[in-house]
Amino acid sequence: MKKTILLIALLVVLAAALAPAQKATLVLWHSYSGVRQQLFDSLIKEFNKANPAINVKPEYGGSLWSMRDKLLTAIAGGAGPHLAEIDSYWTPIFAKPGSLVNLEPYIAADARFNKADLARASLQSTQYQGASYSVPFNLSTIVMYYNKALYKTAALDPARAPADWSELVSFCQKLTVDKNGDGTPDQRGLTFPNKANMGAVWYWLAFFFQQEGKLFNDALNAGAFNSAAGLAATDLWRQLAREGLMSMSSGSADFEAELAAMELSSSSVMGRYRDNMGNARFGLAALPKGKVSATVTGGGNLAMFSSCPDKKAGWAVLSWLNSTQVNKRWALSTGSIPVRQSVLGTPEYSDYLMSDPKGNAMIATLQDAFIRPNIPEYGDASRIIAFAVEEAMINDQDPKPLLDKAKAEVDALFKK
């Protein structure tokens, strides 16, 4: 009897001793490797140090694209992470079935989290049906890179990228050169990274938005892209393709290799071009203007999954990673666009902007940035639109019937 009491007492003491050390361990999947992973890990280490009750475990989950499949599988198998970086346009995919935690209550209760400070487009990308389900972290837009040396050779002003669509075409015509006279140009005016599983829609959307186009109707239950805007954007691409001004190959290295004089690409690759080409050799500018200026955002948001055992702790992590101080450091080291406007005003970031006109041009694009519509149907719809645009471009066909057909297919998606 005595022994039992002693044992119980011992256990109680032991439990009491262990209790404060019992940490909430939160697993966070991200898409960073190499130097970015080192930076991300060191940020998390700092957080863990400052918050002894929380232990965040960062884990590499693949590129954002393959991480989606990993997330789906893991969540179905009950082994998903508590927090993860997701491609900003997947918020509805995970929010709709209830996999993500609605962050509104946590935002409301967190005095340090200033929602109004978030850049407009990055705030929009967190929304599903009017509520925030993620916080922005790594932000990019589509920008225009241009090769100053090739501009000079073509007698173009190396301080200026094409301002509007007609200039885009005329610049491309001047920059498309058949050097060895075999009838095929060796240098193209324009390229964009047409990667296998991303397709061209992301880039096409920017031109579509420049004509004030709307992908869906206001009730968000039917396609609306077979409009004048859709036709104009597709016709521009069609012309670039027909005249051989745009390189249609995978082209992921065409710009670096100076086989294309201009590239539509994510602002996030600026660092790579700086390293590989030299800062003076290329320029960065906003996309040429249509009726209005427009670009499209991309990047990764951070989200909390419903499986998170300690949601307060989870929110603390998200809020901290999104804070001005942390976001400033992330933006300065990675070239990501700051998701908080207050970052721009910090001395370090102002210094950076003063020293780098490219940084300024990059930040400026954010004012005209659109997001991809936050509805679950967007993904499938974008695939259908991509086929129509591609067909018009490659077969040099009138886009009208193709976009009409695509609209009918997209309308069917909403009826499912």
Partner 1 sequence: MRFRDYLRSPLRRGDLSTGIICLLPSLAVIGVFVVFPIFFSLYLSFHKWAILTPEKPFVGLANYARMFSSPEFWECLGNTFLYTVGVVLPGAAASLGLALLLDRTAAGSGFFRTAFFLPTITSIIAIAVVWLWVYDDANGLANMLLRLVGLKPVRWLTSPKTSLLSLIIMTVWKNAGYHMVVFLAGLQAIPPSLHEAATIDGASPRQRFRYVTWPLLAPTTVFVLVTNTIFTFQVFGPIYVMTGGGPVRSTSVIVYYLYQRAFEFQEMGYASAVAWVIFLILIALTVLQMRLARKREQVW
Partner 2 sequence: MSLGTGVRRTALYAALIILAAVFIGPFLWMLLASLKSTAQIFAFPPRFLPKPVIWRNYLRAWQVVPLARFYLNSILVSGVVAFSQVVTSAMAAYVFARLQFPARNLIFLIYLAVMMIPTQVTVIPLFIIVRRLGLVDTYGALILPFLAYPFGAFLLRQFFLTIPRELEDAALVDGCPRLRILVRIIAPLSRAAMVTLGMLAFMFTWNTFFWPLLVTNTSEHFTIQVGLAMLRTQLVSAGDADWSLLMSATVISIVPVLIFYLFAQKQIVRGITMTGLKG
Among residues 158 and 199, whose Cβ is nearest to partner 1?
199
178 binds partner 2 (CB under 8 A): no
Alpha carbon distance 270, 276 (integer Å): 10
Of 63-71, 207-215, 223-231, 323-331: span binding partner 2 (CB under 8 A): 63-71
Tell me which of 123, 149, 163, 198 binds partner 1, using CB under 8 A. 198
Read off φ and ψ for residue 189, nearest 5 degrees. -65, -45
Alpha carbon distance 280, 408 (integer Å): 48
Among residues 94 and 216, whose Cβ is nearest to partner 1?
94
185 binds partner 1 (CB under 8 A): yes
Residue 98 binds: one of partner 1, partner 2, none (C-beta under 5 to 8 A by kind): partner 1
340 binds partner 1 (CB under 8 A): no
Tell me which of 2, 20, 49, 184 binds partner 1, using CB under 8 A. 184
143 binds partner 1 (CB under 8 A): no
Q: Token digits for 217?
A: 């109707």
Taking every pair of Cα atoms in the chain, the longest distance, rounded to a whole number of angstroms, is: 101
DSSP state of 30: E
Beta bridge partner(s), residue 85: 302
Alpha carbon distance 173, 190 (integer Å): 10
Per CB under 8 A, contacts with partner 2 among 253-292 are 253, 256-259, 266, 268-269, 271-272, 274-276
Integer CA distances (angstroms), 325 to 280, 299, 332, 339, 343, in order: 30, 19, 11, 11, 7
76 binds partner 1 (CB under 8 A): yes
Of 166-174, 178-186, 334-342, 360-368: span binding partner 1 (CB under 8 A): 178-186
Residue 91 beta carbon to partner 1: minimum distance, rounded to whole angstroms: 13
DSSP state of 269: G
Alpha carbon distance 256, 272 (integer Å): 9
Residue 381 beta carbon to partner 1: minimum distance, rounded to whole angstroms: 10
Alpha carbon distance 171, 184 (integer Å): 18
Residue 387 beta carbon to partner 1: minimum distance, rounded to whole angstroms: 6
Residue 69 beta carbon to partner 1: minimum distance, rounded to whole angstroms: 5
62 binds partner 1 (CB under 8 A): no
Per CB under 8 A, contacts with partner 1 among 87-106 are 93-94, 97-99
Q: Is 102 strand, coil or helix? A: coil
Residue 249 binds: one of partner 2, partner 1, none (C-beta under 5 to 8 A by kind): partner 1
Integer CA distances (angstroms), 405 to 207, 388, 389, 396, 410, in order: 20, 8, 11, 17, 9
Half-sphere CA count of 133, side-chain side, radius 13 A: 25
Residues in touch with partner 2 (CB under 8 A) = 27, 29, 31-36, 59-63, 66, 69-70, 72-74, 76-79, 186, 252-253, 256-259, 266, 268-269, 271-272, 274-276, 334-335
